[in-house]
Chain A
Amino acid sequence: MYDPTVARLTYRALLGRRRALILGALPLLLIAISVAVRVLAGADDQTAADILGGLALATMVPIIGVIAGTGAMGPEIDDGSVVYLLSKPIKRPTIIYTKLIVAIAVTMVFSAVPTLIAGFVLNGNGQQIAVAYTVAALVASIAYAALFLLLGTVSRHAVVFGLVYALVWEALFGSLVPGARTLSVQQWSLAVAQKVSGGDLVTSDVGLTTATVLLVVVTVLATWYAGQKLRTLTLAGEE
């Protein structure tokens, strides 16, 4: 199921290009803001929850997910180099599964780790807020990576669509329109985080059971479908 060569090619592509700069810049920004807030306003649980919820989980995690998820497959299809993977006796779902693992790992490293650091900077993990949001970031990383890997496999404009989804749907609708929240990776991951924190600063609109089921279903379906799409991926001449 997992192919180490495909994994190596994928993470080198992900961490080798300009992508790596963006991947690194957002977490640094989050930590810088956290330091500034702590220095200027002191430690406060509510502030910590606001920044981790609004900036880290609602904005940074999905953007990192878009970059890692679409970047794990999209560029190879765009420039045609995917032909070197496809012209091998390797099952297509193996290629997708391996790329998913890499995309999840990269998303987790660049989103959950800085979330944890920012949380400790903001209020020293008071009320388990840092840990709760880190868990949310870890959980969300899995679903985002799967969704955006699929998007990168089926669309040439994956980054644009991905960012629109991440920013408009997750950040805007997700916080404004109640109905949209049920269908938001962010809310599902918050449901898990709520369970971890136990306090009332981390809350979700979705129940834990619903959230878990939806997370699993979306991740599995997206991965399966991406595998099917890759099986019938068509390489046509250069336009």
Chain B
Amino acid sequence: MTTLSIDHVSRWFGNVVAVNDITMTVGPGVTGLLGPNGAGKSTLINMMGGFLAPSTGTVTLDGQTVWRNEKVYRQIGIVPEREGMYDFLTGREFVVANAELHGLGAKAAQQALATVEMEYAQDRKIATYSKGMRQRVKMASALVHEPSLLLLDEPFNGMDPRQRMQLMDLLRRMGDEGRTVLFSSHILEEVEQLAWHIEVVVAGRHAASGDFRKIRRLMTDRPHRYLVRSSDDRALAAALIADPSTSGIEVDHGEGALRIQAVDFARFTSLLPRVAKEHGIRLLTVSPSDESLESVFSYLVAA
């Protein structure tokens, strides 16, 4: 049973805050790290894997510090996002080298290649592999020493649906065996299909945490506030309040705008333009007034 603890971790690059005060615990089973491009997923995974020092905070694996501690790699397997991987080797040579670096032999390598079903192409140069094949060989190299923690950065990128399904099965199996598996993705469906637990990161912040039902519920149930200006605020307010997705409307005379609270986000976002059109009202401004969280949810819906 391996637990990875991220405690008040931040990381900045010059002025860019890539990860902003994140605290989370990743335990056995499959965890999905979900976030849009540039959210800080890779930065976080690099810190989890000991390849990047947190600017503040600590990352520990069962109590051991990860940064500058090469002993932790006995327990960690890594599937990096980047493509660089000794293209001049064959798949088998690559996995054997990785096994040897763990003090293991060709037998462990062969087993890992069988696990990812890459034996059929193991004697071809990696340079000739498709993206999905590279991904699987990377996976084999991460599995040779049977790690208890597996970190994968965007593992499904560039895979066709069949390869994707195979890898999902494999990760699911590793989770069932009690290993701690964490993978990142910017696609909600992918994470929903596979992860038992989801951590959402948006703009460097830890935006939400829970199983996919909870994440979905957060997305739909939570009241959302909007500031709306239109050519006829009163008529618009009257038309909107008739629909159950709108839970409250307030006319803000100072701002010359409506403050609307919606309970069903998906429904409201399609209702608003439709109602405006039906009543011949022009919408001048529609802006979410709860910026940080709105961006999470609109992102979740868009994915």
Binding site for B on A (CB under 8 A): 3-6, 8-9, 12-13, 16-17, 76, 78-81, 83-92, 231-238
Contact = CB atoms under 8 A, between A and B. Distances in A.
Which of B86, B88, B100, B101 has the most chain A CB atoms closer than 10 A to its own CB?
B101
Given A79-B82, A80-B83, A86-B51, A235 B101 contact: no
Interface residues of B, number: 33
A80 B52 contact: no
B13 interface: yes
Nearest to A92: B70
A12 B94 CA distance: 12
Interface stretch (B42-50, B193-201, B239-247): B42-50
Interface of B: 13, 42-43, 46, 49, 51-53, 68, 70-74, 76-78, 80-86, 88-89, 97-98, 100-103, 141
Contacts of A80: 80, 82-84
B73 A234 contact: no
8 contacts: A4-B100, A9-B86, A13-B86, A16-B88, A17-B88, A83-B51, A89-B102, A236-B43
Contacts of A83: 51, 78, 80, 82, 84
Nearest to B76: A87
Contact of B70 (A88, A232, A236): A88
B51 A85 contact: no
B126 to A, nearest CB: 10
A17 B125 CA distance: 14
Contacts of A91: 70
Contacts of B102: 88-89
Contacts of B86: 9, 13, 81, 84
A238 B141 contact: no
A238 B101 contact: no
Given A3-B101, A6-B101, A84-B98, A234 B51 contact: yes
A238 B153 CA distance: 12
B200 to A, nearest CB: 19
Contact of B101 (A5, A17, A81): A5
Contact of B97 (A5, A17, A79): A5
A85 B86 CA distance: 11
Contacts of B89: 9, 12
A209 B225 CA distance: 79
10 tightest Cβ-Cβ pairs between the two chains A and B: A79-B84, A80-B82, A235-B51, A81-B84, A80-B84, A237-B42, A88-B101, A5-B100, A87-B78, A16-B88
Contact of B74 (A89, A233, A235): A89
Contacts of B78: 83, 87
Nearest to A75: B84
A235 B82 CA distance: 10
A12 B72 CA distance: 28
A235 B52 contact: yes
Nearest to B43: A237
Nearest to A235: B51
A178 B70 CA distance: 46
Contacts of A86: 51, 70
A9 B95 CA distance: 12
Contact of A87 (B52, B73, B100): B73
